[in-house]
Amino acid sequence: MRAIWLREFGGPEVLVPGTAPDPTPGPGQVLIDVAHVSITFIETQLRSGRPGPFRLTPPLIPGNGVGGVITTVGADVDPALTGRRVVSATGGSGG
């Protein structure tokens, strides 16, 4: 998959495009073909290395909110969800 990586703290120029392994949904999870990612003020603080409510360690893929289409479902998930448009949080990063 394509991703924007934060490999070091700094200004917007430290965000660089790259690749990441294709994720696989686990039990109770879905895989979303992401069309939109939200980057909030908190994430800009984290990118710059300023103290915030939590600390992340590069390298990482920022972005907590995503929107897109469910492409694959994990075990214990209704397969009828495949193809639905959704918005979701990622749990902190990885958007």
- Asked if 38 and 95 count as a contact pair (C-beta separation under 8 A), the reply is yes
In this structure, is residue 94 part of a structural domain?
A: no
Instruction: Quote the CA–CA distance of 52 and 5 in Å, as a whole number.
Output: 19
In this prediction, residue 3 carries a pLDDT of 92
Lowest mean pLDDT among 42-51, 66-75, 84-93: 42-51
Instruction: Quote the CA–CA distance of 70 and 77 in Å, as a whole number.
Output: 11
Whether 73 shows a pLDDT value over 90: the answer reads yes
DSSP secondary structure letter of residue 46: H
3-class state of residue 67 by DSSP: strand
The residue with greater pLDDT, 30 or 53, is: 30
In this structure, is residue 95 part of a structural domain?
A: no
Tokens 């939200």 locate to 38
In this structure, is residue 79 part of a structural domain?
A: yes
Tens of pLDDT, residue by residue over 4-51, are 999 999 999 999 999 999 999 999 999 999 999 988 888 888 888 887
Residue span of the structural domain in which 71 resides: 2-89
pTM exceeds cut of 0.75 = yes
